Structure 1
């Protein structure tokens, strides 16, 4: 029996003129292949209510930032996830983290620091930016619920002027994500490899130090890293070399196979971009004899649809869990 991956937004209630504007539903219909029967009930998709990006002073810091933490913390707010609601998220919903469940298929996310790397190049303006905002609105509640110190968000071009690394760290609510997107305007090129290198270089140094400490009997102090890249185009620099170099370093340290995962989630309809990202997923491991730490989710749907449980699960965990990497949706 075919499992639908997307749901039409027509099934959602329309908002009245007194409610906040809802974003056009993020919907991308991925080609669905026959999937195995699921033994657990996956959570339903979350529909975000994201305002359109607008011209705002980029130096405005919408929320306080702190340095990202890498030490594991105990899970909090353990409980059943909230039921799916067709009603729009209220401000209270946006500000309240989702409750987590011990046996959730997303539970493995607790082991990771999750970073979103967002393509804010000029080609993302308009439809692709709206789709990206809606995607983040659906994914962020899941990732923030299972990352005790919050998610981090980086952009390819925009920089947070209040941090040396230029990212926004320790974000714990969807409302904070929404506020952030209102401050960023897509503009510039697509330096995906350069920005990935900025994120991976200090992290790999931490891994090297942690692995050396473990050889002396000390516990690991660095959480695995789950990077979700949302982009619509072909990079303007060399992403492949950055990934290959990182994989070789991780292999040399005999790090866990899931120490770093990079998920490329394509928005837009650019065929060349889809082909390029697929090559990163399928070819690098065999070509360079390195670990497979890349997964891709190409967009093949239509505007006006929403990601459902299987799509969300692959986006969140496809780069670090092999069975999700192999899944075609």
Structure 2
């Protein structure tokens, strides 16, 4: 699926694919809210909650495998500031990657995930001044990978992990969302919105609906902006049942919650292409912004691969 996705970023091989983002920029800029700028705090934040939620700074493992800096020449052409940048809205968010490192991800799916990260993360790091965060479902050091500003470091972190274990997506999402919601409750205006991108191959082994519903209800109670939290499920592999379940999270969460007014905070990008296909410009845009922009959330998935 992703053996050619990285070509979007500036080719390593002759004849690689090039994505024209001009039309994407025009469509997206019309829909995006004004860029987030934190105003003066309305009420003091709880320093106890902040210190409790902030883990130690990430330090790369001393035995991490050396890697080459991914080519981001192509990324620079679509990450400049201004109206021509279709990804500019990312600057408004803290971007968090949640990576499925369960046993079923071993082999080809793990390589596909690595390729996807190499394509997506240069865009995200270029638009998040304080760096992106990386969590894994099972890896014990997952909470340490914070404030990463380099795509090369993302690749290095990824190479220190080997897939194994179950798929406790709900548990890990709960560990990410609860501290954030506590900070939001204390300081709504001064808390930067969060964009979670979950790369997974299958159906969670636990209850993933409950933390998503609880987060949506809390956001409704606080009257937070529609884009305050977004959770994007990006499927690798071609498991039909996994695709169905992830689509259900996107389309039927309000029905599951029994609340027709529940806000939509979930988007999914299922694999829809044939063997050897790669994400289009629309596809990449939907991965990184689909969960926080309703127009991209509603975009049909048939044109996301070619």
**TM-score normalized with structure 2 length:** 0.74
Look up the match of 2:300.
328
Whole-Å Cα distance in 1 between the matches of residues 146 and 208 of structure 2? 23
Spell out the pairing of 1:251-262 with structure 2 (5 A cutoff).
251-262=220-231
Spell out the pairing of 1:258-277 with structure 2 (5 A cutoff).
258-277=227-246
1:107-145 Cα offsets, whole Å, 9 max, x none, are 111110000000000000011111111111111011111
**1:124 and 2:122 equivalent?**
no
Look up the match of 1:231.
200
Which structure dedicates a bigger proportion of its chain to helix? Answer: 2
Structure 1, unmatched stretches of 5+, are 1-5, 16-24, 26-36, 43-59, 65-88, 212-219
- State the Cα distance separating 1:304 from its structure 2 match: 2.9
Look up the match of 1:147.
128
- State the Cα distance separating 1:38 from its structure 2 match: 4.7
RMSD: 3.1
Structure 2, unmatched stretches of 5+, are 17-22, 29-57, 302-306
Whole-Å Cα distance in 2 between the matches of residues 241 and 262 of structure 1? 14
- State the Cα distance separating 1:288 from its structure 2 match: 2.4
Whole-Å Cα distance in 2 between the matches of residues 285 and 167 of structure 1? 33
Q: Identify which of 223, 231, 248 aligns with 2:217.
A: 248
Residues 97 and 144 of structure 1 are in contact (CA less than 8 Å); yes or no, is this contact kept in structure 2?
no
Change (3 A) 1:62 1:94: farther
Q: Identify which of 192, 195, 206 aligns with 2:169.
A: 192
SS at match of 1:276: helix
Q: Identify which of 81, 100, 105 aligns with 2:80.
A: 100
1:250-289 Cα offsets, whole Å, 9 max, x none, are 1111111111000000001111110100000001135423
Look up the match of 1:284.
253
SS at match of 1:228: strand
**Structure with the greater relative contact order (CA < 8 A, sep ≥ 6): 1 or 2?**
1
Whole-Å Cα distance in 1 between the matches of residues 153 and 164 of structure 2? 22
SS at match of 1:302: coil
Whole-Å Cα distance in 2 between the matches of residues 146 and 317 of structure 1? 12
Number of aligned positions between the proteins: 251
